[in-house]
Amino acid sequence: MGRYVSRRLLLLVVQVILVATVVFLLIRLVPGDPARAILGETASEEQVARVRTLLGIDRPIHEQYVSWIGRVARGDFGTSVISGRPVMLDIQQRIGNTVELIALSTIVSLLIGIPLGIVAALRANRATDYALSSFAMLGLSLPSFVVGTIMLLVFGLMLRWLPPAQFVPWYVDPGQHLRVIILPVIALSLSSVAVVLRMTRSSMLEVIRQDYIRTARAKGLSGRLVILRHALRNSLNPVVSIVGLELAALLGGTVIVESIFNWPGLSSLLIAGVRSRDYPVVQGVVLLIAVLTVLINLLVDLVYGWLDPRISYA
């Protein structure tokens, strides 16, 4: 396994460089002069020249590329054209809020999705299963911004159970912080709950048809014990791989959920960057999210192999 891990780590470096290359090329997609696009038609030539220097696009492209990769490797994502602050500083201040949303949503989707999936499998093709499967289909079909906005209307404005979208840091008021995080977590995790539920159900259905489950039952073990000790363990492998994909999806989902609930995470930084054409900010946030996605996928592959010894590392 050691050799497999080191090979995957090497591959990781290549992947990160490729991802950084794509993000570098992004600014080249901008039609015309990016500096002119940022400043608008009224800006003077000197202003445009200054922004061109700031973006580094006044140099030949190969020089720009080498310097970009070098800076990224040192964790330097450049300086915001609008605020003049280092992009990395803004990211550091906000990433915790985004990670908190994702971590809580992952926990929620596992804690709710797996038990519901087991129940659906054990009651397969009966009313409970149909109800749960319909719920899952609904969860997959309703976009987070629709769910989030409707919850804001119902629980925030009409029932007034929960405070409307107003972020409170945990160190200011932990209780209030927990209350404001409930709705974003529900909106973000709904589709993941659905995916985990469906995956657990189908994987569980496959496992409980196996011979060794029949054997376990035949030797007189109670139904619950067979499910928990024998069936669950083996049916969770596909769930682990789907959780990896879901983590990446959640990372994308935060972009929308954060903007509904005014959550000061990476997304508000990204959206503000897009609106003001602040390319270093957009590049920095996109690169960070892509690198995190690649890391998550690697981690899931490793956990997957560790859980299921049948997977070879050849």
Partner 1 sequence: MTATPVTAPTAIASQGWRRGAGPAAVESAWRRALRNPRVSISAFILLLIAAVSFGAPVLAPYSPTTLTDMPLLPPSSQYLLGTDDFGRDALSRLLYAGQISLGVSIASVLIATVIGVWLGLLAGYYRGWGETIIMRAMDLLLSFPTIVLAIAIVSALGISLQNVIIVIAIVYIPRFVRVVFGATLAVRQSEYVQSARVIGAGDGRILRTAILPNVAAPILVQTSLSLGFAILVETGLSFLGLGAQPPTPSWGNMVSAARNVMELNPWLLIAPSAAIGITILALNTLGDGLRDALDPRLRS
Short-list 164, 187, 158, CA closest to 176 = 164
- For partner 1, which stretch binds (CB under 8 A), given 77-85, 88-96, 236-244, 290-298? 290-298
Query: In the stretch 141-160, what mask flags binding to partner 1 with x, by CB under 8 A?
Result: xxx-xx--xx-xx---xx--
Which is closer to partner 1, CB of 22 or CB of 61? 22
**Considering the rule CB under 8 A, would residue 274 count as an interface residue with partner 1?**
yes
Name which of residues 170 to 229 contact partner 1 (CB under 8 A): none
| Alpha carbon distance 132, 278 (integer Å) | 45
Within 10 A of 312 (CB to CB), how many other CB atoms are there?
A: 7
Residue that is written with structure tokens 């709705």 in the block? 183
Short-list 47, 122, 42, 117, CA closest to 81 = 47
Of the candidates 297, 305, 307, 308, which one interacts with partner 1 according to CB under 8 A?
A: 297
Q: Which residues contact 69 (CB under 8 A, 6 or more apart)?
A: 17, 20, 21, 24
Name which of residues 106 to 135 contact partner 1 (CB under 8 A): none
Q: Which residues on neighbouring strands pair with residue 79, listed in sequence order?
A: 86
Name which of residues 50 to 109 contact partner 1 (CB under 8 A): none
Q: Taking the complex as a whole, how short is the minimal distance between the CB of residue 169 and partner 1, in angstroms? A: 24
- Please answer whether residues 191 and 140 qualify as being in contact, where contact means their C-beta atoms are separated by less than 8 angstroms: yes
Of the candidates 97, 105, 106, 293, which one interacts with partner 1 according to CB under 8 A?
A: 293
Of the candidates 253, 265, 280, 284, which one interacts with partner 1 according to CB under 8 A?
A: 253
Note the helical H segments in the chain.
Answer: 2-26, 34-39, 45-55, 61-73, 87-122, 127-141, 144-151, 174-207, 211-218, 223-225, 232-260, 266-275, 279-307
Q: Taking the complex as a whole, how short is the minimal distance between the CB of residue 26 and partner 1, in angstroms? A: 5
Of the candidates 101, 121, 255, 300, which one interacts with partner 1 according to CB under 8 A?
A: 255
CA distances from 225 to 174, 220, 222, 236 (A): 39, 10, 5, 16
Which is closer to partner 1, CB of 200 or CB of 230? 200
What residue ranges bind partner 1 (CB under 8 A)? 15, 18-19, 22-23, 26-27, 29-31, 37, 137-138, 140-143, 145-146, 149-150, 152-153, 157-158, 248-249, 251-253, 255-256, 259-260, 270-271, 273-275, 277, 279, 282, 286, 289-290, 293-294, 297
